[in-house]
Structure 1
Amino acid sequence: MKRIFAVRAGLEDLERIVPLFDEYRIFYRQESDRASARAFLEDRLRREESVIFLAVHEDGEGGNHAVGFTQLYPSFSSVTMQRLWILNDLYVTETARKSGAGALLMETAREFAKETGTKGLTLTTWTDNFTAQRLYEKQGYIKDDEFYSYNLFF
């Protein structure tokens, strides 16, 4: 029986995460760079600076492969004086879209945020990423129309 399940990734999963992370970056119009992706992810995991969950597809014959991931970064709200998680990355391979993998990863992130006693989750997405926006709204996320986001990049 085929199924998709979520697991928290560790260093032992690095080689399964790297191709997904590289595809994610390409989606956001970045050049493919698996070596740098591997170094970046290894650093985050070794330093415990992020939490990564994988969506894993079980093929029914004893094998499985990762079809998506989400990466969370810790943050804080000074106003409420509580911790929160930034859901920074969510990616599902093109062949696994509409399989429920994205919703599973979102629900896994939600449960993790609750279990760690945080205020909640926050995320941003491109204004024209309507597929992702529908998923987020279906999961109960509310589009912010109260605050503007500003960035200063170097």
Structure 2
Amino acid sequence: MIPSIKARPAERADMPEVARFAAQLVRLHHALDPHRFMCLEPLEPGYERWLTRELENPDAVILVAERGGAEPALVGYAYGRREPRDWMSLRDASGVLHDIYVAEPARRLGAGAILLEAVIARLRDLGAPRVVLHTATQNAAGQRLFERFGFRRTMVEMTLEL
């Protein structure tokens, strides 16, 4: 039987686990391309401080995916914010999905889709007219999920090592 998974707003007590997820996301990106993605250890303390402060930001959305059952457990998180126009990125006011991560044992159980649907809804409720995200080129599974939700490709980042 597949355990039920639900998304809910993160709470202060969730932040150590959310910080661990955030650090795993950084390490994953760094492993994909260590020249492009920095990884300044230890990651968890900084993420815990930052995301705990973001709980108070009215433009931020931090959600956790929680597996139900006899022993509920967090299995992922999403972090997004409503952001103003960004002239350097040529991006009008938007919701920006900065992070979405599901722990390996819970992947392919629908947690990513549950988190994505919930964070889109929360950003829409905050007045975001669109949601923008970046995804690693190698993250084919994530790209398929985003495309299922209607995301379209708008930019390609290219890097040259000097």
TM-score category of the 2 structures, normalised to the smaller one: 0.7 to 0.9
Answering whether residue 127 of structure 2 is matched by residue 133 of structure 1, we say: no
Residues 50-61 of structure 1: matches in 2 within 5 Å? Answer: 50-58=60-68, 60-61=69-70
Name 2:79's counterpart in structure 1: 71
How far is 1:36 from its partner?
1.9
Alignment correspondent of 2:127 = 117
Give the aligned residue type for 1:50.
A
Structure 1 CA distance for aligned equivalents of residues 124 and 53 of structure 2: 25
Q: 1:105 Cα deviation (Å)?
A: 0.7
Aligned residue for 2:47?
37
Q: Which runs of 5+ in 2 are unaligned?
A: 31-38
Identical residues among aligned pairs (%): 26
Q: Which residue of 2 aligns with 1:27?
A: 28
Q: What is the match of residue 5 of structure 1?
A: 6
Query: Separation in 1 of the partners of 2:151 and 2:57?
Result: 29
| 1:33 partner amino acid | L
TM-superposed CA distance for 1:133, in Å, is: 0.7
Q: 1:101 offset after TM fit, Å?
A: 0.3
- Tell me which amino acid in the other structure corresponds to 2:22: F
Higher strand share: 1
> Displacement of 1:66 after TM fit?
0.8
Cα separation, partners in 2 of 1:35 and 1:114, compared to 1, 3 Å: closer
Q: CA deviation at 1:150?
A: 8.6
Which stretch of structure 1 is more off in the superposition, 102-111 or 113-122?
113-122
| Structure 1 portions without partners, runs of 5+ | none
Scaled by the length of structure 2, the TM-score of the pair is 0.78
With normalisation by structure 1, the TM-score equals 0.81
Cα 1:56–1:116 shift into 2, 3 Å: same
Partners of 2:108 and 2:78 in 1: CA distance = 16
Asked if the contact 2:10/2:64 (under 8 Å) is kept, the reply is: yes
CA–CA distance in 2 between the matches of 1:56 and 1:107? 15
Q: Which amino acid aligns with 1:41?
A: L
Q: What's the Cα RMSD here?
A: 2.6
| Aligned positions, number | 146
Q: Please give the alpha-carbon distance, in whole angstroms, between the structure 2 residues aligned to 1:13 and 1:36.
A: 15
Using the alignment, how far apart are the partners of 1:137 and 1:8 within structure 2? Answer: 24
